[in-house]
């Protein structure tokens, strides 16, 4: 009886072992289901002859309240209106209605310093602190360009 002699080089043997290991890993990954939870946490309800009630769930998404917006014009070196009472988190839009003059609004306690507003430009600020605030225009302070804003909660 003749024997078949198989001569495998050491390098080819290492390749065969590597391929065999990869094959086993693929088979394990395909045929063994992953267990993402334990039996206690993933029990499926057992359906018996009893009536099963469906539970309706609703996702409630609260829409944020719209922020109130107030408009203040600056014209002839005056704010209009000169006094304003607003709620916290309200937005005030300041509009420079001058035809040739620039304005730069600031709050005297340092709450904000607005940008330089050319004629017909606007600047908005959200008042997120309660209190009484005095505003001036840098360009018209000596002419009485002043405004009072009271922010309430």
- pLDDT of 44 > 60? The answer is no
Is 82 inside a domain boundary? yes
CATH number at residue 123: 2.60.40.420
Answering whether pTM is above 0.85, one says: no
Coil vs helix vs strand at 145: coil
Q: How far is CA 32 from CA 23, 26, 28, 35, in A?
A: 14, 10, 6, 9
Q: What is the pLDDT of residue 94?
A: 97
Does 13 reside within a domain? no
For residue 133, is it within any domain?
yes
Number of folded domains that form the chain: 1
Confidence of residue 86 (pLDDT cuts 50, 70, 90): very high
Return the minimum-mean-pLDDT range out of 18-22, 61-65, 70-74, 116-120: 61-65
135, 107 contact by CB (below 8 A): yes
């Amino acid at each position: 009886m003749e024997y078949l002699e198989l001569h495998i080089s050491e390098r080819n043997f290492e390749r065969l072992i590597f391929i065999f290991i990869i094959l086993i890993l693929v088979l394990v990954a395909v045929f063994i289901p992953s267990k993402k939870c334990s039996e206690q946490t993933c029990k499926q309800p057992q359906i018996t002859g009893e009536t099963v009630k469906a539970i309706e769930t609703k996702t409630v998404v609260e829409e944020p309240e719209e922020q109130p917006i107030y408009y203040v014009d600056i014209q002839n070196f005056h704010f209009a209106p000169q006094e304003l009472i607003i709620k916290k988190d309200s937005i005030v839009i300041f509009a420079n209605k001058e035809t040739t003059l620039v304005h730069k609004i600031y709050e005297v306690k340092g709450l904000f310093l607005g940008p330089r507003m050319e004629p017909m430009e606007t600047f908005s600020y959200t008042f997120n602190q309660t209190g009484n605030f005095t505003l001036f225009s840098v360009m018209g302070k000596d002419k009485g360009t002043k405004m009072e804003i009271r922010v309430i909660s």
